[in-house]
Chains A and B, each alone.
Chain A
Amino acid sequence: METEKSTVEIKKQEAGRGLATERMKTGNVYLPGIDIFEDKDSIHIVADMPGVGEKDVNMTLENDVLTIEGRVAPVEVEGHSPAYTEYGVGDFFRSFVLTEAIDRDRIEATLKDGVLRIVLPRAEAAKPKHIPIRAE
């Protein structure tokens, strides 16, 4: 059984520096951990964004760049001071360049228990097609 006493840094990657656009709000920004998987119909993105509610998430798709952003309210409890800190609290930000045509009208996203799930359906034109070859 292990017991911790000292402060350990947990690697929660900061999104900071590389952002193309600067944010107006100050505070730390983190990269959500993600899983991406695909099937023949769509691309699925799953992102861990603890502390983000349905109303705090913003998703945009512009010129093949999908951006997800989640706002997290800082935990401030009156009369309490931090005694031990392993993770930083801040907003989440991550963007992806989509290399395939997506049917924008059918994109679906759900958020439950701090996990964002996005389904990006492939555009009909981009789906692999079987081309029959006729014998002459």
Chain B
Amino acid sequence: MARIGTVSWNWDPFREMDLLERNWGNLVSGLARPRVAKFPPVNILTSEEDVIVTSEIPGVNPDDIDLTVTGDTLTIKGGRPHPELREGQSWQRRERTGGEFFRTIQLPFDVESGKVQADYSKGVLRITLPRAESEKPRKISVKTA
């Protein structure tokens, strides 16, 4: 928004700077990083006891999925084979993606890394991460004197 020559009485340079910064951010991120769907997509479910992370990764070998947990960070790493054609075959349509993937997920709390369980079935990865003991909410009863 150009405002050359007309500075209204309630002009706030700080607000202007803030706006510019925000728009600039949009512009730059729009240029540098087009919005690409992250692969694999994840869903996170929580309770007081644990957090469950599910992810749709169809068509991978579970041995090719690497999971790392540190504190409240979960890393999913792996690869999905690129569909390849044999001789004499030709593409009609290509929508599925392949290749290496890497995602870091911030969990809502620290987890017990030694008790993490993961299974892969029907193309869906499911990881259960128990909340660290020290992080569990504790009930404190108030005594009357």
Contacts and interface: CB of A to CB of B under 8 A. Distances in A.
Interface of B: 37-38, 41-47, 49, 51-52, 54, 56-60, 73, 83, 85-86, 88-97, 104-106, 108, 120, 122-124
Contacts of B88: 39-40
A5 B104 CA distance: 11
A82 B43 contact: yes
Interface string A25-46: 0000000011111111001101
Contact of B45 (A33, A83, A115): A83
10 contacts: A3-B105, A4-B38, A34-B96, A35-B93, A37-B89, A50-B58, A85-B43, A87-B42, A113-B123, A114-B59
A113 B60 contact: yes
Contact of B43 (A1, A4, A86, A114): A86
Contacts of B45: 75, 77, 80-83
A51 B123 contact: yes
A32 to B, nearest CB: 9
A17 interface: no
Contacts of B104: 1-4
Contacts of B89: 37-39, 44
A46 B108 CA distance: 37
Nearest to A41: B88
Contacts of B105: 3-4
Contact of B123 (A3, A49, A83): A49
Given A37-B89, A51-B56, A83 B51 contact: yes
Contacts of A82: 43-45
Contacts of B49: 79
A11 interface: yes
A53 to B, nearest CB: 5
A36 B91 contact: yes
A10 interface: yes
Output the residue of A3, A5, A86 with the most chain B CB within 10 A: A86
Contacts of B56: 50-51, 87, 114
Given A1-B104, A10-B41, A115-B59, A34 B124 contact: no
